Structure 1
Amino acid sequence: MIEWVSLRTGARPVPQPVATPVVWATAFGGAMILVAVHNALVGSGRPGWALVAVSLLAAVLGLCARFTAAPGTAVLCWLTLNGFAVPPAGTLTWTGPRDTFWLTCLCSAALVGTVLARLVQARAAYRRVAGGAAPQAPDPDDGRPGL
């Protein structure tokens, strides 16, 4: 007898990512806070540590976001870095090599966070679906003669 079971009932095998607007708002607000703290502690003339901190923020946000949120997250973080971590504060500028590197770092960090989260979630879902049992190695004392 065939019994139809809905896959939508019960626990979801893979959690839903956070909505993209929420991720973007958190990226913008978090980057502003990190850059403000950086400017207070280090100053606005040395943006290297701000880039590291904001890249870590992008990676952490990538852990709970969709892949489609990564470019927007990178751009919002870059806007904050460009506008407030380098003098003159509040002015957006484009310095080709530097800003291209920053955007690449930020987008890569967001994508790495998202890929890592998807791998961990897929592995956990596989364990739930497969029953959590790993394949067993054959018993060496099963009575068969050795080679």
Structure 2
Amino acid sequence: MAWYHANAVDAEFWFGPSDTRDAAIVKGRAHHGPVRFWVAQGKPFGNDLDVFEPDAAPVVDSFDRINEHNFGEDGEGGPLHWDEAACADLSRRLNVVFARWANEHGYQHGWQLDLGEGEEVRPVLTLAEVCR
């Protein structure tokens, strides 16, 4: 979990992350200026990284399209040669490799945040501002 700041409790965009509430407030004051803003603790939603279908259809289709000249005159060895168990194994392996790649390059997180309750941060008034 990390801390984020925004100009409204129902803002579409939250800025961060910060490791602590106080760090989010410091960043929020620098970003929003002398107005009220909100901080909340949250975390990005995780992306679904199992992008290859159980039958690995996109890979199978690409393989068949690229290699159709090797299928023979009557299409023997063509699209019917894909075994269900082999496709399931290919799908599992591709998902493992893709998840590793996504985690290495920052694609494991979504853009949306799972936020907790927002907390309003009001501007700090100086004595001169209060006495006006």
Q: Which has the higher contact order (CA 8 A, sep 6+)?
A: 2
Instruction: Report the TM-score when normalising by structure 1.
Output: 0.29
* Structure (1 or 2) with the greater strand fraction: 2
Which protein has the bigger helix share? 1
